[in-house]
């Protein structure tokens, strides 16, 4: 079976192309985020997989839940996804859309994993340093992992900077094991 991202990619690219054509990247981002939240709801899984609902009924149900938050092209997109039985992939479509949007806007996603919660000053310092190093704007996502003991791990694309105590202890262990 194909990986979900592989199946979701053409839909994300189509949504991105439509958003560019309309000049509404932010609006499409909001629509896909809302659709992702609606479809990811536990109660919706039963509705989506209900064989008694026609594609038209499911489309109308999802569009009604979203209310006026969907544009006409957004509603059409829902219809296409439902007809193709791909509505359950909206979360993956949203993620891929956001990656294309960030690339188009010259923004890189950077994940910062720390042993403790970082304050705004620390996040800004890391953000400024990575932004200068990459030469582009960045968006920082922070996460806590107490197993790091101390320090941080920074992931920017394929680059990983492991400045955690756990990482340094592993290095020391490897040196002593030789």
| Structure confidence by residue, pLDDT tens digits, 136-176 | 888 888 999 888 888 889 888 778 888 888 888 888 888 88
Judgement on whether residues 131 and 69 belong to the same structural domain of the protein: no
Asked if residue 132 and residue 44 are part of one domain, the reply reads no
- Residues 37, 124 share a domain: no
Q: Which pLDDT belongs to residue 1?
A: 44
Residue 2 scores a pLDDT above 80:
no
- Residue 149, classed as helix, strand or coil, is coil
pLDDT tens per residue, range 67-78: 899 999 999 999
- The number of distinct structural domains making up the chain is 2
pLDDT of residue 30: 95
Q: Can you give the residue range of the structural domain that contains 35?
A: 4-102
- Give the DSSP per-residue string, 84-131: TT-GGGHHHHHHHHHHHHHHHTTEEEEEEEESSPPPHHHHHHHHHHHH
pLDDT tier, 107 (very low <50, low <70, confident <90, very high otherwise): confident
């Amino acid at each position: 079976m194909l990986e979900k991202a592989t199946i979701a990619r053409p839909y994300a690219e189509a949504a991105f192309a439509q958003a560019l054509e309309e000049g509404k990247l932010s609006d499409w981002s909001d629509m896909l985020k809302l659709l992702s939240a609606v479809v990811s709801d536990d109660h919706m899984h039963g509705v989506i997989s209900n064989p008694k609902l026609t594609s038209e009924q499911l489309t109308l149900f999802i569009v009604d839940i979203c209310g006026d938050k969907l544009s006409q092209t957004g509603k059409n997109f829902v219809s296409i996804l439902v007809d193709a039985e791909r509505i359950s992939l909206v979360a993956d479509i949203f993620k891929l859309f956001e990656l294309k949007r960030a690339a188009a806007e010259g923004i890189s996603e950077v994940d910062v994993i720390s042993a403790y919660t970082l304050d705004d000053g620390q996040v800004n310092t890391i953000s400024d340093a990575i932004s200068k190093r990459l030469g582009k704007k960045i968006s920082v996502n922070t996460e806590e992992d107490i197993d790091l003991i101390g320090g941080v791990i920074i992931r920017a694309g394929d680059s990983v900077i492991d400045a955690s105590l756990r990482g340094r202890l592993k290095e020391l262990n490897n040196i002593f094991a030789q």
